[in-house]
Structures are given as structure tokens and as C-alpha cells.
Structure 1
Amino acid sequence: MATFEIPRYDQVPETKEDLDWAELVTIDLSRFDEPGGKEALVQQLDHAVKNMGFFYVKNFNIAQEEIDRQFALGREFYALPLQEKLKYHSWSDLERGEYNGYRPAGHRILGNGIRDNVQVYNIPKFDGHHPRAQPPILASHITEIEAFSRKCHTEVVEKLLRLFAIFLELPDEDQLVRDHTYDTKGEDHLRYMHYAARSAHENALVGELYSPGHTDLGTVTLLFRQPVAALQILNSDGDWKWVRPQDGTITINTCDALTALTGGLIKSSIHRVHAPPQDQAGIDRLGVLYFARPNNHVVLDPLRDSALLARLGLTRNVFTDVGKHLTTEEWVKVRQTQQQRPRQEAKITHDGKYEYKPKDLEILPGLLAKVYN
């Protein structure tokens, strides 16, 4: 196969505007193997995962050059002609909850006649269960992409899972790692994500949002440093705060499957994508993310052998409350089917609130997705 030369990727400058930034904990993974290091990191995590579900990690053994290469690959993919990208897209797949491959912008009408401005390309983890054709620009670098995907898992996700196991007082700190084995069938994936800049008029029609407030459906999401300010999180006081791009860090958010496994103790972080500030308003936003999920066979009931959950009496979650004991595979399918549905457009109020009909938010009978305003 021909090898495509990939020019270097240079990130754009950060905003100089005075934004209301969130104050987030930074977990230094260089302390992980020190005596007492994991326990000290768990103490740092305690507030973050119970209140906001967002934190940074640093010193995670993935070089900046490797990260920049992934941004460069994403840039090269999105530079392809639309007709070329559409070869890796299937409407019928999306309707069935199959989300890997390409999703073009404009899949959904957000409201007031404005369609979404986001393109997504998902590359499933290399567990042998997700064979997919890749565009030549990515196929020629697939070994490098797999190495990066595996590093996300071993250098970041597995270490966080051990910290969560200690936090939850599980009998074995490797218990959650075993439920997230990379080479076992699962729905983890690497994503290149592209938001196209919109006009001020279009942004105003959709409440200045690229994506309204939501939670992610897996265990944790890794967001590599993105200097175009847009990510906002909802803090425990109910205020939206901007997430600052910190050098040498990955932004981590905890997600729905982890919330289910912990009976609601670990918060599934609520976040949205806002239109960038004025000095970045005309810049497209490219993201590199890694989504970690429990293996497909894992049942998303509260962990029965967590001494902490037992002490707190956390034995139920939103799934068991509607009589369901979903595996990860079942949860991902029903949630993705709901998410990918080209909904009737929302009613967007003058102050930017999104209001949907209940049928557009139904995941399962008795369980509706939430849109946070």
C-alpha cells in the first residue's frame, strides 16, 4: 500500500478572551507507581468524580508528537472530497445504532432550520471484532493509529480504572481493568471530530451552541488538548464553565456506564459545545478523542462487591429502576439508535433552551435521554 506523507500539524493559538474557566483537578499519573501514589491520586479524584465528572491528567506516557500525528491524520481525512468520505458512511448503519465510520455534517436539524455542523469519523478499537475498510490516507498509517489507540487504553484508561477500583473499595484493583480488556469485544473507539465555523446569525438561531448539554454513554472519554475554546461543563452549582486547554494534559470526563456501575455515585459529566469566543469564531475545530467502554458482555448493574457502594446503600440505577439489566452491548445499541435518529428539530427558546418531544428522547420505555439547558 502506498504511504501518504503527512505534513506536520500545528495547533492554532488559544483565545485571549477572559472566559469563565472551570477549576478542575489535575491527576499526575507519574505518581501512579510511587509508594502511596495511587491512594493520593484517589483522594484528588474523590471530589471531581462525585461532583463534576471532569478532570485533567498529565504525564501519561504519550508523546506530544504522537498526539499531533493523530490531529494531522484527522486533518487529512477531513480535507478529502465529500464524495470520498461518503464511501465510509451508511445511513442504514446509523439507524441500527452502528456508529463506526463516517457521519457527515447536517445529519440532524438542531432547530430553526439550522443543521448540525459536525463531522465524525470513528475508528473502532483493534480487538479483531470490528473489521472495516479505511480510506487510503488512514489505511496507510493504520499501524500507527492502532498503537495510539492501544496507548490510550493502557497508559490512561487502565490506570484510571485502577484508581476507580480503589475509590470504590473493590476487593481487587484490577477488577474494572478485566471488564475493559482491550482485546475482548467492546465498543471503544478513536474519533476524529470536525466542527465547521458558522456565521454569527446561524449561531444565534441555535442558542450559540454547536451541541446542547449531554452526557457520554461509556466509562470515560479522553479529549486531547484542543485550543479552540468551545467545551463547557455544568458544575455542581448549575453554572456552565469553559474548559481551558491545558498544555500537556488530556481532559477526562466520566460517563453513563460508569455512573450505572456505581449506582449514581460517580457522576456522568454534563457538557456541551458552545460556539467559540469572538477571536476564534471563524476557526474550524478539530478534535481527537478516545471513548472507553466496558466490554460488551458486562452487565451495567451497580457493583455488588464495592464496600463503598454497600455502605452508601447504592444498589439501584436508572436501568434497574425500569426493570432492565443491560449489557454494555445492549446499552450502546439502544442509546446510539436514539442518538443517531434524525430527530424532529427542537424548539429553541430565545434564551437557548432546547425542547424536544418525549418520543424523540425515548431510549427505552420509561427511560428518556436528557438534554441539559
Structure 2
Amino acid sequence: MPGVIVNRYEHTPETKEDLDWAELITLDLSLYEQAGGKEELVKQLEHAVRNVGFFYVKGFNISQEEVDRQFALGRAFYDLPLEEKLKFHNEADLTRGEYNGYRPAGRRVVANNVKDNVEVYNIPKFDGFHNRQQPAILEENIKEIEEFSRKCHDEVVVKLLRLFAILLELPDEDQLVKDHQYDVVGEDHLRYMHYAARSAEDNAKVADLYTPGHTDLGTVTLLFRQPVAALQILNSEGQWKWVKPQDGTITINTCDALTALTGGLIKSSIHRVHGPPADQAHVDRLGVLYFARPNNHVVLDPIQNSPLLNRLGLTTNVFTELGQHLTTEQWVKVRQTQQQRPTKTIKVTETGKWEYGEKDLEIIPGLQATIHH
């Protein structure tokens, strides 16, 4: 019996509104193999990762056709009836910090009794340790999905890890690569993410936010270009700026695990998802992302053999200052448990202040998640 035909994905037109766009650098990874190319890229990268934690990459050896196929597969999954998608949802798994598979919208309250409008489908990396049943539409294309997942790692993540190693003056350019091996057990995953358009009334109740400001918990996140404007970053001056979709690029943000490994040198970027501008407010927003994380056994203490970190005295982090020496596996579990915990008590006051319940933000004793609005 032939499989379901996945139609070509056509991107929504970009907004015509004059938004306050962030000024971000673009790293051309085609320079990577050229003489002196890596060193030149590190010079461009340093300011971005120490101050903002966001930048674009281009020249990454993944074609637009391959990217669009992932958007098409994500759309095909979300077009399935809810009862079919719910076959790949396990509430007990989410409660204990397991996040692969399907997460329906509406599990969490954003604020003022308005539920979240986000559906998530996570596909773990193909390392042999995360075997899961997939919906037929994805299972029929699983080899293509695996190839794309591996390209995200090999063509983008590995190259960035070597640039970070040069920045940190590590004696082995592959030191971070060895801690992020694709075929060693880890929590990397590919994500299809769907934001349903909301009514203006509900948006007003949550200060026009789909997702409040937060940081990601891994090493780097790859966000493939999609044209519905919604992503905003908090810049070094404390201003929220829109992230413009740039043709032929991936938007990269640096994350908590990398911040921990570098004693705070590399900034874990603060970002949020805002309601789209008026000319896109009626459009559902589909995202394709890849989340890279250190292998599960890696202890998230500051790197000891970095001459740069030692010169700057960056030898502790938020974990070690609490007497904790968390592995990636432990960190992902406690952070995801906090993130997936259903919330019912969040309010936005008339003055714009956000109020959370007592345990909403606790990750471990002594460490609270920070939410930015």
C-alpha cells in the first residue's frame, strides 16, 4: 500500500511591517575549510556569544530543498487528527522529564487562565539509545529525517564546537566535539513545533506573548528560517528586538549547558516568542529546530584546561556554587521536569507584573528558573 504523499511546503510571505529588528552577525561556514577561515570566524563569533548569544550561519551544506522537506513533514504531522497525534503522547513521561514524542497544546497556563497554544513533536537523535515508535507519515520518511538530523550535527554543530574550542584556547580543537558525539548517548533532538494563531482577546490577556522570555538548556539551538515573525531576543542593553528571517540562514542561539561549561563566558541567550505582527497574526507558525546537547555523561563544571577561562577567573558556575556537579543527563531531567510541570496559577496584573506559584520555577533547591517578560 503506498504511503501518504507529502506535498511541497510553501512558506508564508514575510511581514511588511516595520519592526525593530535585531542586528546580528552572520557567520559564513563556507570559510571554515579555507586557510585562516576558522580564526576569522572566531573573531566574528566572540562578540556575539559573549554579549547576545544569537547569530546567523550560512554556507552550511544543507540545501533549501532539504530544509523545506522537514517543514513539509512537520506540517503533515500536525495535519493529523488530534486522536492520532495523541497516540504519541504520554503525560506520565512529560511529568518525569521525558520530552520526546508529542506534547499537545494546552497543558500549561501562560497566564490569566489562557492556555499555551504550542504543540511540540520531538524526534531524538539516531544514536541507538532512543528507539521510539513514530507516526506512519514520519516512519515512512525516517531515513531522510535521520540524514537531516545527522547533517545538523556534522555540518553545523561540530563546526561551531571547534570554533568555541579555539575561542577558549583549548589545547585540542576537538575537545568539545568529543563531548558531543552523535553516536554516544545524549539528548539531542529534532523538533517540529506548531503555534496556533490566537485571538486578539486572548493575546491581550498574556501581554501578546506566546512563550515568555527564557533560555534553552543545551549547548546550541538551530532554528531554521521560517517567515512568521515572532522570535524576539533580549539584547545587551535590555531591549527586546525582533529576529528577522534571513534567506539561506539558520538562526543559532547559545544555551545553558555551554554557559555552565564556560563559567558564564558564553551567554545563554534570552529569547521569547511574541504574537506575530498584524499582517501575520492570523497565521499558524511552524518551526523546525535542532537542539544540541553534551553527551549524557559530561559533567557541566567549568572547563578546567581553558587558558582563557583561567585568566578571567571563570572557574565556577551556578551549579558548582551550590555544591552540585550535574551531568548533562541529570540537568536535562531536572530542567525538563520543571519546564513540563503543568502550571495553573500564573497571573499578569494590570500593571504588567507576572506572578508565579511557589513551585512553578524551582529546578533544584536553591536554583530557580528565570523568566523574562
- Structure 1 counterpart of 2:122, which letter? N
Give a deviation string over 1:215-265, Cα, whole Å, max 9, x none.
000000000001000000000000000000000000000000000000000
Q: CA deviation at 1:3?
A: 2.9
Q: CA deviation at 1:352?
A: 4.2
Deviation at 1:48, TM superposition (A): 0.3
Partner of 1:371: 371
Letter in 2 for 1:116: D
C-alpha separation in 2, matches of 1:226 and 1:246:
9
In the TM superposition, residue 172 of structure 1 has moved relative to its aligned partner by 0.6
Q: Which residue of 2 aligns with 1:317?
A: 317
- Counterpart of 2:296 in 1: which secondary structure? coil
C-alpha displacement of 1:346: 1.2
CA distance in 2, matches of 1:194, 1:92: 22
How much does 1:2 deviate? 4.3
Deviation at 1:109, TM superposition (A): 1.0
- Render the CA deviation track for 1:311-347: whole Å, top value 9, x for unaligned: 0000000000111000000000000000000023312
Unmatched segments (≥5 aa) in structure 1: none
What is the CA distance between 1:4 and its match in structure 2? 2.4
**Matches of 1:131 and 1:60, distance apart in 2:** 28
Which residue pairs with 1:85 in the alignment? 85
| Matched residue SS, 1:134 | coil
What residue is the counterpart of 1:212 in the other structure? Answer: 212
Alignment deviations for residues 115-173 of structure 1 (CA, whole Å, 9 cap, x no partner): 00000000000000001000000000000000000000000000000000000001111
* Aligned AA (2:5): E
**Per-residue CA shift, 1:71-111, capped at 9, x if unaligned?**
00000000000000000000000011000000000010111
1:202–1:140 distance in 2 versus 1, CA, 3 Å: same
Match of 2:290 in 1: 290
> What TM-score comes out, normalization by structure 2 length?
0.99
Are the counterparts in 2 of residues 107 and 342 from structure 1 also a CA contact under 8 Å?
yes
CA deviation profile, 1:340-359 (whole Å, cap 9, x unmatched): 00023312133544321342
Q: When the two structures are aligned, how many residues end up with a matched partner?
A: 373
Q: Is the 8 A contact 1:110 1:345 kept in 2?
A: no
Question: 2:116: which partner in 1?
Answer: 116
The reply on whether 1:224 has 2:231 as its aligned counterpart is no
Amino acid across the alignment from 1:216? D
Partner of 1:9: 9
Residue correspondence of structure 1 range 85-104 to structure 2 within 5 A: 85-104=85-104
Map 1:190-209 onto structure 2 (within 5 A). 190-209=190-209
SS of aligned partner of 2:72: helix
Whether the aligned pair in 2 keeps the contact of 1:207 and 1:351 (CA below 8 Å) is no
CA distance in 2, matches of 1:221, 1:45: 15
Q: Does the C-alpha gap of structure 1 residues 294 and 2 become closer, same or farther in structure 2, counting only changes over 3 Å?
A: farther
Give 1:253's aligned residue.
253
Q: Who is 2:362 aligned against? A: 362
Which segment is superposed worse, 348-357 or 245-254?
348-357
Where does the alignment leave 5 or more consecutive residues of structure 2 unmatched?
Answer: none
Give the share of equivalent positions with the same residue, in percent.
Answer: 75
Distance (whole Å) between structure 2 residues aligned to residue 38 and residue 142 of structure 1? 33
What is the one-letter code of the residue matched to 1:202? D
CA distance in 1, matches of 2:4, 2:79: 14
**Distance across 1 between alignment mates of 2:220 and 2:44:** 17
- Does the CA contact (< 8 Å) of 1:206 and 1:352 recur in 2? no
Cα pair 1:297 1:327 within 8 Å, conserved = yes
Q: Provide, for residues 10-29 of structure 1, a one-character-per-residue CA deviation record: whole Å limited to 9, x for no partner.
A: 10100000000000000000
1:277 Cα deviation (Å)? 0.1
Equivalent residue letter for 1:166: I
Contact 1:214 1:372 in 2 (8 A): yes
The secondary structure found in structure 1 opposite 2:359 is helix
Say what the alpha-carbon RMSD is for the aligned residues. 0.9
| Aligned mates of 1:116, 1:32 — CA distance in 2 | 40
1:34 aligns with 2:37: no
Q: Does structure 1 residue 157 correspond to structure 2 residue 192?
A: no
Aligned partner of residue 147 in structure 2, secondary structure: helix
Asked if structure 2 preserves the Cα contact closer than 8 Å seen for 1:27 and 1:41, the reply is yes
The runs of 4+ residues in structure 1 deviating greater than 2 Å are 1-4, 349-355
- Partners of 1:277 and 1:356 lie apart in 2 by 27
Other structure's SS at 2:191 match: strand
TM value normalised by structure 1:
0.99
1:232 aligned partner, one-letter code: Q
Counterpart of 2:75 in structure 1 is 75
Query: CA–CA distance in 2 between the matches of 1:355 and 1:24?
Result: 32
